Amino acid sequence: MHPNAEMLAVLLLGNLMLPLVSAQNAGFVKSPMSETKLTGDAFELYCDVVGNPTPEIQWWYAEINRAESFKQLWDGARKRRVSINTAYGANGVSVLGITRLTLEDSGTYECRASNDPRRNDLRQNPAITWIRAQATISVLQKPKINASDQTTVSVDTSSKPVILQCNLTTAHTPHKESYWMKNGQEIPNTRTELRNTAHRINKPRADDSGEYMCVYTFDMAPNANATIEVKAKPDITGHKRSENKNEGENATMYCRSVGYPHPTWTWRKVDGTSYTDIDNSTGRFFIANRDNFTELSIINLDINTDPGVYECNATNVIGNTAETTILRVRSHLAPLWPFLGVLAEIIILVVIIVVYEKRKRPDDIIDDDEPVGPMKTNSTNNHKDKNIRQRNTK
């Protein structure tokens, strides 16, 4: 055989054997975990598998005490309460989610994975061609909690305390304790073992508004909670009163508020009795809003059009409030103004001195050619000579 033909045969055989050498059976990187939930809640199960080729993933379900009667789950099942999201790459990753849980959702959920070419052959035993990972989901009846109605904090009633109350009326397992939360954070010193719990706000203000939650804990069941909304009109607690910039620079103005629900923010430029709404469509004005904070940025300031009064407005279902910021835009020569002022003063002073010197009277000037003191005349000398001659004659 020709040497080149032998080499080609070796390469061809190597390419044919490469898929066999690099093939990898399916295996779990992450398996679903068992959970206990309450009616009305939701859960998600994760399944991450590896293999070459990338394994196919399926989800199956069996009712409690009927572990052999598995049924395949599909996206959109159970009146669209079931969602299945699967992505294939180097690994296969799938997430099973079910919302608005009922007692009938309890059971065994199974993630199946396989990259066996015979996996969908009905003549094959699925127990051989598919690997499986199971999780048990137990759904318990949610305890009944009677909670206070939502309330509104206003300026007129700010002196009246607000009392929030919760009462655990029905629970299938004994509770341990309860505590209060505000906006997802536990309120200190609110834990108690009583079924009836209350939280008192002595002097409610706008920053006391928010989403309050009473939480009950149990030994053999998940926590149960009830939500009470305390609403208030937005109150802007921080903003820039003025902003001074040079033309061509960027300016930033902001407003920060308290109050609940979180407000809708708007910006506008006020010109006397008229105003102009501001949005992100111009390419120079940019507004960024998040919950109780808003920020307006203006790039490449124009000294002719940008100076003025800018107003931020916060609005929610209870009311609205606004604050203004004065934007001043200076010329490029503004940094030179102090120097030019001093230079002008010096020039004026020099001119005054020169004019003063020029306007002096001639009498005030002394001629260096004139003698300083009075000069003796010849007549005096003549008198002396005459007296001398008269003495000599006697």
Count other Cβ atoms within 10 Å, centred on residue 384: 8
The reply to whether 39 and 131 lie within a common domain is yes
| Confidence at 354, pLDDT banded by 50, 70, 90 | confident
Given a cut of 90, whether residue 327 has pLDDT beyond it is yes
Amino acid at 40: G
How many domains, in total, are found in the chain?
3
The reply to whether 132 and 148 lie within a common domain is no
Structure tokens at 151: 């309330």
pLDDT of 125:
79
The answer to whether residue 79 sits within a structural domain is yes
What percent of the chain clears pLDDT 90, i.e. is strictly above it? 65
Average model confidence (pLDDT) for the chain? Answer: 85
Q: Which of 44-53, 64-73, 196-205, 235-244 is predicted least confidently?
A: 64-73
The reply to whether 218 and 259 lie within a common domain is no
| Confidence at 162, pLDDT banded by 50, 70, 90 | very high
Q: Which of 95-99, 186-190, 305-309, 387-391 is predicted least confidently?
A: 387-391
The reply to whether 38 and 132 lie within a common domain is yes
- Torsion region of 248: left, alpha or beta (phi above 0 gives left; psi -120 to 50 gives alpha): left
pLDDT of 391:
46
Query: Under a CB-based contact definition with an 8 Å cutoff, are residues 150 and 228 in contact?
Result: yes
Give CA–CA dist 59/49, Å, rounded: 13
The reply to whether 280 and 173 lie within a common domain is no
Identify the domain boundary among 274, 303, 330: 330
- Distance, C-alpha 275 to centroid of its chain: 28
Q: How would you classify the pairing of strands 162-170 and 196-201? A: antiparallel
The reply to whether 40 and 55 lie within a common domain is yes
Output the domain CATH number for residue 79.
2.60.40.10
The reply to whether 105 and 208 lie within a common domain is no
pLDDT of 157:
54
The reply to whether 284 and 199 lie within a common domain is no
pTM: 0.69
Q: What would the mean pLDDT of 18-38 be, rounded to a whole number?
A: 81
Given a cut of 80, whether residue 140 has pLDDT beyond it is yes
Q: What would the mean pLDDT of 9-14 be, rounded to a whole number?
A: 38
The reply to whether 182 and 204 lie within a common domain is yes
Given a cut of 70, whether residue 384 has pLDDT beyond it is no
Supply the DSSP string of 54-96, one letter for each residue: PPEEEEEEE-TT-TT--EE--TTHHHHTEEEEEEESSEEEEEE
pLDDT digit string, tens, across residues 331-349: 876 666 677 778 888 899 8
Residue by residue, what is the 3-state secondary structure of 175-208?
EEEEEEEECCEECCCCCECCCEEEEEECCCCHHH
Domain extent for 72: 24-120+127-140
The answer to whether residue 278 sits within a structural domain is yes
3-state secondary structure of 336: helix
The answer to whether residue 352 sits within a structural domain is no
The reply to whether 158 and 183 lie within a common domain is yes
Give CA–CA dist 48/28, Å, rounded: 6
The answer to whether residue 9 sits within a structural domain is no
Given a cut of 50, whether residue 315 has pLDDT beyond it is yes
Q: How would you classify the pairing of strands 210-218 and 144-147? A: unpaired
Amino acid at 270: V
- Torsion region of 369: left, alpha or beta (phi above 0 gives left; psi -120 to 50 gives alpha): alpha
Give CA–CA dist 68/199, Å, rounded: 50
The reply to whether 112 and 192 lie within a common domain is no
The reply to whether 28 and 107 lie within a common domain is yes
The answer to whether residue 341 sits within a structural domain is no
Give CA–CA dist 313/267, Å, rounded: 6
